[in-house]
Structure 1
Amino acid sequence: MEAMKKMPVALIAALLVQTVGGLVWAGGAAARIATLEQRVGEQRLVAERLARLEAQGEAVRAAVERIERQLEGSDGEALVLLPLWEKVARRAG
């Protein structure tokens, strides 16, 4: 009979310990999830920046190709570029 009275106390103590352990585990899991969500948000920003850089790179490539075509001229010979100061002098003069 004495053992029967002690069993519920031990059972209640075990349930309390397990409950506390479960709450601690849930808190840790919530912290890990918050960290992962933050990283995903940062990766979205990086992905957007990368997409913009790729678009800018394509635009630069197209501009360089257009400039190369203009430099080659209609007969295929490369045109001689004037120094910058000569171009400025022509515009000012």
Structure 2
Amino acid sequence: MAMQPAGNTVDNGHWHLDKRVPIALIAAMTIQTAGALIWAGAAMQRIDYMERELIAISGVGERTARLEEQMRYLRQSVDRIETKLDRLSDN
């Protein structure tokens, strides 16, 4: 049977916190985690804002296309009116 050195404990496979972990490391990890969560929350707010803006703006393109189509029809009407006026003035 093998002898264990004095002062060592048997590792039974369970997780445990060693008393040699410095408090500064635990504090740094806690602060880093909190910072990451705050950053993620702010990013999520920006994404939500941009989604709302995109939804609001999406109708603008459709309205612009309709207005362009109406302007094309108006231009054709004006051209016809001008042609008729030119014919009347030539007579």
- In the superposition, the TM-score normalised over structure 2's length comes to 0.67
Please say if 1:52 is aligned against 2:70.
no
**CA displacement at 1:66 relative to structure 2:** 2.7
CA RMSD, 1 decimal: 1.5
- Partner SS, residue 29 of structure 1: helix
For residues 49 and 18 of structure 1, the distance between their equivalents in structure 2, rounded to whole angstroms, comes to 47
Q: Deviations over 1:22-58 (max 9, x none)?
A: 0100111122222222212211111111111000111
Write the mapping of 1:18-57 to structure 2, written as runs, cut at 5 A: 18-57=39-78
For residues 89 and 54 of structure 2, the distance between their equivalents in structure 1, rounded to whole angstroms, comes to 52
1:63 is aligned to 84
For residues 11 and 20 of structure 1, the distance between their equivalents in structure 2, rounded to whole angstroms, comes to 14
Please say if 1:8 is aligned against 2:29.
yes
- Partner SS, residue 71 of structure 2: helix
Q: 2:58 is aligned with what amino acid? A: E
Count of matched residue positions in the alignment of Structure 1 and Structure 2: 70
After alignment, is 47-56 or 25-34 more displaced?
25-34
For residues 14 and 60 of structure 1, the distance between their equivalents in structure 2, rounded to whole angstroms, comes to 68
Gaps of 5+ in 2: 1-21
**CA displacement at 1:67 relative to structure 2:** 3.2
2:38 is aligned to 17
Bigger relative contact order (CA 8 A; separation at least 6):
1
